[in-house]
Amino acid sequence: MAQSGSLIAFDLYGTLLSTESISKRLSEILGSQETGTQVAASWRKYQLEYSWRLTCMESYDDFYNITRNALRHALSEAAVRLEEDQIDQLMDEYDHLSTFPDVTPALQNLTKRPDIKTVIFSNGTKQMVSNSVFRSQDLSPHASLFTDLVTVEDVKAYKPAPAVYEHLAVSTGTQMGDIWLISANPFDIVGAGDYGLKTAWIDRNGRGWEDAAVPRLRPRIIGKSLDEVIKAILDDLSK
């Protein structure tokens, strides 16, 4: 039996949803796979950088805006110009992302466990996250699994700010020690772990844990797929 009051929170972008299709779309628009891959990587880099820098500055702009601004930075760095409607198209891709291949079977297994409460927990705006979950061809069939979409918009700070994890605990009415966070993003794992959540890291590349921002903070569980990670969490909860 799952412990009463326990919760699994899923990070969304890079954890359930792959941004690979954005990279492909960029390559198509730019007419070069190399430039597309490069701009996509640099876009993601600036998206995260901006989220951290704004949080350091005790400032806030929503995830849609910083994602769009980060794209401009990445394009400028690659000396590429796009029209506004092409930028709109790229931003629209966020509403139609695919899940990673290991996600569907893992979520299917979880539907057999109605005793486990699950939520999405994302940096995105409510609008982005809602669109991403309900319009994704892969993820929307599982949308009913999630009892809530928790975003950072209410607290106006980004992961890994303590206020963000506090908001997750408060808005789900769960003690932080009863929350499992599943993320493929090391910065999220370290931030949640520092705040006292239990953390499970998806290591899809199988490289092992390399992050050393806070060397003592490592994920409680490491698995190569969502299925592996969820099984390990369910094992832990049944103890």
Q: Which residues bind a second copy (CB under 8 A)?
A: 45-46, 48-50, 52-59, 61, 66, 69-70, 72-73, 76-77, 157-162, 187, 190-191, 194, 207, 210-215
**Which one, 28 or 214, has the nearer CB to a second copy?**
214
Could you tell me the smallest distance in angstroms from the CB atom of residue 53 to a second copy? 5
Could you tell me the smallest distance in angstroms from the CB atom of residue 73 to a second copy? 5
Could you tell me the smallest distance in angstroms from the CB atom of residue 11 to a second copy? 15
Could you tell me the smallest distance in angstroms from the CB atom of residue 33 to a second copy? 21
Query: And the tokens for 85?
Result: 């409607």
Residues near 204 by beta carbon (within 8 Å), at least 6 away in sequence: 100, 102, 184, 224, 225
Could you tell me the smallest distance in angstroms from the CB atom of residue 207 to a second copy? 8
Q: Give the CA-trace dihedral at 33, 84, 137, 234, to 10 degrees.
A: 80
**Which one, 9 or 107, has the nearer CB to a second copy?**
9
CA angle 131, 66, 198 (to 5 degrees): 70
**Which one, 50 or 180, has the nearer CB to a second copy?**
50
Q: How far is C-alpha 219 from the geometric centre of its chain's CA atoms?
A: 16
CA angle 139, 5, 120 (to 5 degrees): 20
**Which one, 48 or 145, has the nearer CB to a second copy?**
48
Could you tell me the smallest distance in angstroms from the CB atom of residue 201 to a second copy? 15
**Which one, 145 or 157, has the nearer CB to a second copy?**
157
Sign of CA pseudo-dihedral 174, 176, 180, 186: positive
Strand locations in the chain, DSSP E? Answer: 7-10, 17-18, 98-99, 117-122, 148-151, 179-183, 198-202, 221-223
**Which one, 144 or 205, has the nearer CB to a second copy?**
205
DSSP state of 13: B
